[in-house]
Chains A and B, each alone.
Chain A
């Protein structure tokens, strides 16, 4: 194609410019703020590691651990529930049902946040329909805690897991199962020795993705439990909206850097695993 030289890459320029300004500027400010003292500090703006240290101590550390715990447990449960559900969907004999279920998963995995929180508040909150009819409060039920949040998170984590696992499950060839069966393996041994090892990269990649999703979630928890469950996103939000001491803005940025590190780690594990499972099941 006879295109003059600069025109060969000109189409990419707007995207790169956008990324430098809209992604680069906030990222640079975040890192800069995380490692310097605030302008209002006695000595002016100086390099410091104090923000980062503070973000790993006291209430901030509690919040960080709270987030990690919630994400790890929620993702694990969603994995355990998502695998059988995905298998049942993929092997369903009714095409319409299968497609409807996958379309539903596509929607539910994207519709987290505020509407979800209120649907559950209306169902299992203190004045919720099920809570009143089953008299759950007397049995010590509370939606506004760690386990309540875990339950609600499943609503978008399980569909996400189903979407992640579907290609892998569809790639499991019927012949593999038959071959295993011919060699005398029962269903259990087929799953343990054939299917699960092939699915392992997808499962692990899915777990990590779910962990990352739960870790960065904020809206659901904010709309539902307020701050009764310590989470790192809540701490940042509090610091940003000035609910705590002045000068905590830079600690909020340090906490954001912590979050980026965790999310970066998640992606560093997830993306190669995704590629690996694509190779096997291509």
Chain B
């Protein structure tokens, strides 16, 4: 029995070490953000954030770009993946390759290439409609270039999630049944295929949103100020608020995931029972 309890102590030690490493920084960060040398505890950093310069703007920008990115990812991937499974299986390798290619281009290399394109484009297309397109892409109120970049960066994860979702349902049978009942193609897609993919769609949307919410590199280099960049910008003058904002950022992601996991599980159990 001595060896067994030794193993148990080992397990406990691993849990403890991991718990300490992953939880202590969070606890310390919260403590840091509410610390006040005179009053002891003060939530100024949290309450003051909403009125702080640039907070609303950065949050709105993040949400707008995030929503557009999720939409674009789904609009590009869903038809492609369904087509590959139903009518064009030979294109499968090509689609997989295209979706995994972004893995070999780190965000920093991608943004270097993008800024080269943005510098080169306007010089060569002055006076043509493409020039306006380049300007429109960099509109500070809604930077389309960020949506394009984030969509590209989200492709590998989104591809895996959606493809796994499609593999789990019998797409061909579903579609043939719906078509045999004289459902049109859009109707088949909206009323038959998509409801069966709810879990995968939610996961894809969440992962994409999490990516957009935390992304810093591309936005910072291109000179935009979404939430993550805003945190860094204020860190110089308001250290406590930047830590408080970081904690809120983490919390939002956590809550989103937990809600998604919970609804996903509730639905599964309801469907199987």
User: Which A residues contact B (CB, under 8 angstroms)?
Assistant: 1, 3, 7-12, 14-16, 18-19, 22-23, 25-27, 29-30, 33, 84-85, 88, 103-104, 106-108, 110-124, 127-130, 154-155, 158, 187, 215-216, 218-219, 222-223, 233, 236-237, 240-241, 249, 252-253, 255-257, 259-260, 263-264, 266-267, 271
List which B11-37 residues lie within 8 A (CB) of chain A: 11, 14-15, 18, 21-22, 24-26, 28-29, 31-33, 35
- Residue B166 is within 8 A (CB to CB) of chain A in the complex: no
- Residue B205 is within 8 A (CB to CB) of chain A in the complex: no
Residues of A contacting B109 with CB < 8 Å?
Answer: 30, 216, 236, 256-257, 259-260, 263
CA separation between A251 and B7, bound complex, in Å? 54
Decide yes or no: A218 and B217 within 8 Å by CB, A85-B18, A106-B257, A115-B249 being known contacts: yes
Q: Please, what's the 1-or-0 string for B109-150, where 1 marks a CB less than 8 Å from any CB in chain A?
A: 111111111011000000000000000000000000000110
- Supply 6 A–B pairs (Cβ within 8 Å), ascending by A: A15-B98, A107-B254, A115-B214, A216-B106, A216-B107, A219-B214
CA separation between A20 and B74, bound complex, in Å? 18
User: Which B residues contact A (CB, under 8 angstroms)?
Assistant: 7, 11, 14-15, 18, 21-22, 24-26, 28-29, 31-33, 35, 75-77, 79-80, 82-84, 86-88, 91, 94-95, 98-117, 119-120, 148-149, 151-152, 176, 179, 207, 210-211, 214-217, 220-221, 228, 231-232, 235, 239, 242-243, 246-247, 249-250, 253-254, 257-258, 261
Given contacts A22-B149, A216-B107, 10 further A-B contacts (CB under 8 A): A11-B79, A11-B82, A15-B79, A88-B11, A115-B231, A123-B32, A155-B22, A219-B214, A223-B231, A266-B104
CA separation between A117 and B176, bound complex, in Å? 51
Do residues A113 and B105 form an inter-chain contact, with CB atoms below 8 A? no
Chain A nearest CB from B120 CB (Å) reads: 6
CA separation between A114 and B62, bound complex, in Å? 15
Partner of B112, one of A30, A84, A267: A30
Residues of B contacting A119 with CB < 8 Å?
Answer: 25-26, 28-29, 243, 246-247, 250
Residues of B contacting A253 with CB < 8 Å?
Answer: 112-113, 116
Decide yes or no: A110 and B247 within 8 Å by CB, A22-B148, A130-B24, A219-B217 being known contacts: no
- Smallest Cβ-Cβ distance to A215: which chain B residue: B106
Residues of A contacting B106 with CB < 8 Å?
Answer: 215-216, 233, 259-260, 263
Chain A nearest CB from B144 CB (Å) reads: 11
Do residues A222 and B216 form an inter-chain contact, with CB atoms below 8 A? yes
- Smallest Cβ-Cβ distance to B79: which chain A residue: A11
